[in-house]
Amino acid sequence: MPSAGYPGTLMTWSEHGNGVFSKRYQSLDLNIGAIECEDGLLIIDTRAHHAQARELIEDLKAISSHPVRWVINTHHHWDHTFGNGEFENVDIWGHERCIPALADYGQATLARLKKMAPGQKASFDEVLILPPNHTVGDEATVTFGGRRIEMRHLGRGHTNNDLVVVVPETDVVFAGDLVENDAPPSFGDAYPLEWPDTVAALAELVTGQVVPGHGRAADREFVVSQQADLSSVAELARERHADGMTVEAAAASGGPFPKATLEEAFGRAWSHLGEAA
């Protein structure tokens, strides 16, 4: 996560195409998407707790007088879904595995966050974990207030329930955490051996701008370069696991990401390779 050097546009909305916006928040360097539809706003992800979601609702007034009528969660992680509770009477879309993932992980994650960030305990105490009430399997095309939006699950990667949002008319793709800019990808719930193929499929969809889950908006070249790094992690994992290395030794031997990231990636990969054996 970058500590300095944010562009001046950080706290404003960027318009990527006709009524298709994103806002890059300093907190967690998270991107929120917003799409102006005929009679309401569609937003992509809801931030990390209710107070942040309320701030988002205020911030949306800068781009639209419409209320939020639809939410799409790109995956179950807390920084993308724990603001859902502010959107109780709204259609919330997510991948079908987002619901069990939130059920398995939500309460334990909330408890961990309260311990890790005692200064924000009150914010996390308020969180009502609200799963999606509309689900997508491999893909769905839905017209939200006159705008055709595609939601695609391209395979397992950052999690088992990553959903990519494509706005064909403006050539914009919201990629969730399948790609992260300005910080290494997060492997905590990842499928490191499958992630490269999923991002290769993502690259095929990106013909214009791509908004990652975190960090600066980018283009296809960035996705291709992240795909190469993810492929390298998968290849090193297979080689080093076959050589009988421990996760720690494998991470210490280097790769395209910092050691702590590699340790997380190889830890996940070793458990998946062990299962396959």
Chain residues binding Zn ion by CB under 5 A are: 77, 177
47 vs 77 by CB, closer to Zn ion: 77
Alpha helices for the chain (secondary structure H): 50-60, 78-81, 98-116, 121-125, 195-205, 220-242, 247-252, 259-276
Alpha helices for 145-188 (secondary structure H): none
124 vs 144 by CB, closer to Zn ion: 124
Rounded least distance, CB 228 to Zn ion, Å: 21
Rounded least distance, CB 173 to Zn ion, Å: 17
16 vs 75 by CB, closer to Zn ion: 75
Strand ranges inside 12-159, DSSP E: 13-17, 20-24, 31-37, 40-44, 68-72, 91-95, 134-136, 139-144, 147-152
Q: How far is CA 116 from the centre of its chain?
A: 21
C-alpha gyration radius of the chain: 18
35 vs 190 by CB, closer to Zn ion: 190
Rounded least distance, CB 219 to Zn ion, Å: 21
User: Residue 85 in contact with residue 129, Cβ under 8 Å?
Assistant: yes
48 vs 236 by CB, closer to Zn ion: 48
Output the CA–CA distances (angstroms, integers) from residue 138 to 30, 44, 130, 158, 204, in the order listed: 25, 18, 22, 16, 16
Please tell me the total number of residues recorded for the chain in this structure.
Answer: 277
Rounded least distance, CB 78 to Zn ion, Å: 8
Rounded distance between C-alpha atoms, residue 83 and residue 47, angstroms:
5
40 vs 155 by CB, closer to Zn ion: 155
Rounded least distance, CB 162 to Zn ion, Å: 8
Token pair, residue 87, equals 């959107």
Rounded least distance, CB 188 to Zn ion, Å: 8
